Amino acid sequence: MAWMPFVVLSLLVGFAWYWRGLKRRAAVISEKVRRQALDNALVWPELGQFGAEVVGESYYQAALTRIVGSADDAGVRQLEQAVLVPEDDNPHDSQAVGVYIQDFKVGHLSREGARTFRRRLAAKKAKGLPSKCGALVVGGHKLENGTRASYGVWLDIKSFD
């Protein structure tokens, strides 16, 4: 019976190893499905107006810095592609829409903007699906006090006003 703890431990380690492998395979599969969904996502037409502001960027400055790199004294105005993702499971607002650039979350649409955006998605028969549009990342310029301005994001979609 002295070998019994060894057998139980071996079974637990084996199960943990098997479970870990399943989770890794599931992550690869879900990433593949996500990429396919994004490849086929609705793309909003280019307007060249960048009239829809993203909110909450202050929480994502590190991600925006990774996207644009280091800014010179004049700052940046960098064009990117944004992915707009309805976030039904958002604990603060079940109608929220997250904004992602290069797989980094960079903010949300405003509360009112998210609701308007979701109505537009529904009208395009794309309710609840991610979609894409142009994005302009601005900021990072040197301020008079020597600090740098925060980055902001504007979307090339029809304004929500």
Residue ranges, the chain, pLDDT below 70: 1-40
User: Does 7 share its domain with 79?
Assistant: no
- Residue 112 has what pLDDT? 94
User: Does 47 share its domain with 4?
Assistant: no
* Host domain of residue 30: 1-40
| CA gap 12, 33 in Å, rounded | 31
- Residue 80 has what pLDDT? 93
- Residue 128 has what pLDDT? 85
| CA gap 16, 85 in Å, rounded | 33
- Separation in Å, CA 60 to CA 57, 118, 160: 5, 23, 22
Tell me whether residue 6 is in a domain: yes
User: Does 36 share its domain with 50?
Assistant: no
User: Does 116 share its domain with 136?
Assistant: yes
- Separation in Å, CA 79 to CA 19, 48, 68, 123: 42, 11, 10, 27
User: Does 27 share its domain with 86?
Assistant: no
Write down the residue that tokens 């079940």 correspond to. Answer: 94
User: Does 117 share its domain with 131?
Assistant: yes
SS3 of 96, please? Answer: strand
How many domains are contained in the chain?
2
User: Does 3 share its domain with 17?
Assistant: yes
User: Does 24 share its domain with 57?
Assistant: no
- Residue 148 has what pLDDT? 74
Would you put residue 57 in left (φ > 0), alpha (ψ -120 to 50) or beta? alpha
- Residue 54 has what pLDDT? 95
User: Does 15 share its domain with 48?
Assistant: no
Pure H helices in the chain: 4-39, 61-68, 111-123
- Residue 29 has what pLDDT? 42
Tell me whether residue 117 is in a domain: yes
Tell me whether residue 160 is in a domain: no
User: Does 49 share its domain with 114?
Assistant: yes
